[in-house]
Each structure stands twice: as structure tokens, then as C-alpha cells.
A and B are shown apart, each in its own frame.
Chain A
Amino acid sequence: MSDDHGSSVISAQVRHVESLLESRGLLDAGEIDTRIDEFLAGGSPANGARIVARAWVDPGFAERLLADANSAIREVGLSMAGGLQEQRLKVVANTEGEHNVVVCTLCSCYPIALLGPSPSWYKSEAYRSRVVRDPRGVLAEFGLELPAGTSIAVWDASAESRYMVLPRRPDGTEGLAEDELAARVTRKGLIGTAAV
């Protein structure tokens, strides 16, 4: 890679800061590795998919989810309180006439507990700047061509508020079990840059 040198310089700088902080008692040896492992073992889009599948099979849950997502997701053993601070969660449902898509125009706010680490495109200036001005065009770049009659709502996440999309249940999935339905849900579907 062309940035190997730059990468090795910043690697050395990061290690240097870590050892400075260890010498001041602000970081324990091994703490960084433990935190990385915990993070990677934590949130994943499978969590969000589980919420969606439950909402598809249980209309009562779907109603509670749309009314108060922070409480409803506790029913499936999930929480928005596991990070550095509890974040408000709003789940927005796609319908025949309206599609939802999520962005954080200011930085990269994202429901990590439900979706895992965010993709680089979500954090890019290209996505953040353009999806609020031309959502239909940006969604088309993702391969999602919406009918002209479908309106698009763009939700801008903030430090305290996070959003997740509840996609529409695909046709022909009536016979599927809840875990099979969850397997159909993608990370992009939960952000709104794919249909499911």
C-alpha cells in the first residue's frame, strides 16, 4: 500500500502515547486489547436484524418499537445503554409510500450496539453531504431505485439520538421462521441504503 510509511509513523505515535499514559497510571497494560476484543465481540447487524424480524412477526412488538424503541428492544435482550452513555433510539418504518434513510451529517453517530462498527462510507463526507441534498440519487448509487411516487425521509443522527430503519418485510416470506427472516436483513437495510 502507498501509505505504509504513513501508517507505520502513526502506529509508532499511538504506541508512544499509550506508553506515556501507562506511565502516568491512566492506562493499564492490556487494557487496549481487552477493549478492542470487547468491541469486536459486541454489536453486530445481527442484533438489528433480530429486532426487525421480531417486529415483522409480532405486530404488538412493532407498535411498541415504533413508540419507544429504547424500552422495546429490552424485550429481545438489547440495550442502548452499553456504550459510553445511553442514547435515545428511534426506529423508523418503511412503508409502501415512504422510505427512510439514516445519516450523521456532523460526524458518524450510529447505533453501534445494534449494527456493530459502521462502514467507512457512512462516515465519508460524500455520503454525509449528499444524502440530505439528493437522497434519491445517492440511494440509486447503492443500487436502490425507488419509485418516483415513494417519498424519502432522511434522519440526521446526533450525539444523543440514534436511528434505525425497519425495512418492509419482503413478499413471499410468509412461511419463514423468525431467525430465517432475520437472516434476510442486511446492515444497509437497517441504515436505509438497501430495501431489506
Chain B
Amino acid sequence: MSRVNDVGGMSGFPAVIEEPDEPPFHSDWEAHVFALNGALIRRGVYNLDEFRDAQERLPVQEYLAASYYERWFAAITTLLREKGVVAGEELELPDEH
């Protein structure tokens, strides 16, 4: 059974858009998410395959609506919760209540 990330050959997507002189990251938080993932994998909190899987099993609507590094962050927080590293409510920003 294919998952939402398995888009090879799927029709309906638009023309490819190139961004001239694109920076490696578009915001600081993207770089932080990238580095955070590497740090957690190197510490053995989860492995690379678990990380990919966590992205690919995001709810379909969430996957398609998210940017590349938003998916990464969603996968990281999913795994931190599932591995019992943090409780779900701890992930919420304090001022959101």
C-alpha cells in the first residue's frame, strides 16, 4: 500500500519552480530542525528509518500542507512523544494555554 509521500508518477502537480541563488535554509528554525534531527539520531533516540517513517505516516492532509522542514519537525516531535522522551503536553508552548 502506498503512502502519501510515494508521489513518483502521480499526475496533477505543477511545473517545477527553481529558486535562483537559494540559501541552504530559508529560516534559522529550519537549520535548527535539521541539526536537532542529526543530534537525536547520533544519540540513538531514534534511527534514520524511524525518522523517515514518522514523516511518511503523518496525516495525509498535514503532510501535504506542511513545508519540508515542518514535516521534519512534526516527525521529530512524534518520535519524542512515542519514545516517551517527552509527554505530549510538554511539547505545547507554555503561552498557548
Contacts and interface: CB of A to CB of B under 8 A. Distances in A.
Contacts of B13: 124-126, 129-130
A156 interface: yes
Contacts of B85: 21, 24, 26
Contacts of B93: 12-13, 16
A107 B42 contact: no
Given A17-B76, A132-B9, A121 B24 contact: no
B1 interface: no
B52 A159 contact: yes
B22 A35 contact: no
A151 B89 CA distance: 54
Interface in A103-140: 103, 105-108, 116-117, 119-121, 123-133, 138
Contacts of B48: 84-85, 159
Contacts of B12: 129
B59 interface: no
Contacts of B55: 107
Nearest to B71: A107
A128 B86 CA distance: 34
B43 A26 contact: yes
Interface residues of A, number: 50
A31 interface: yes
Interface residues of B, number: 52
Interface in B3-33: 5-19, 22, 24-25, 27-29, 31-33
B73 to A, nearest CB: 6
Interface in A15-51: 15-18, 20-21, 24, 26-27, 31-33, 35-36, 39-40
A141 interface: yes
Given A12-B93, A85-B48, A121-B16, A105 B36 contact: no
A119 B19 CA distance: 8
Contacts of A105: 6-9
A49 B19 CA distance: 21
Nearest to B45: A26
Contact of B36 (A18, A125, A132): A18
A119 B18 contact: yes
B29 A10 contact: yes
5 contacts: A13-B73, A26-B40, A103-B8, A120-B22, A125-B13
Interface of B: 5-19, 22, 24-25, 27-29, 31-36, 38-43, 45, 48-49, 52, 55-56, 64, 68, 70, 73, 76-77, 80, 85-86, 90-91, 93-94
Interface of A: 7, 10-18, 20-21, 24, 26-27, 31-33, 35-36, 39-40, 84-85, 103, 105-108, 116-117, 119-121, 123-133, 138, 141-142, 156, 159
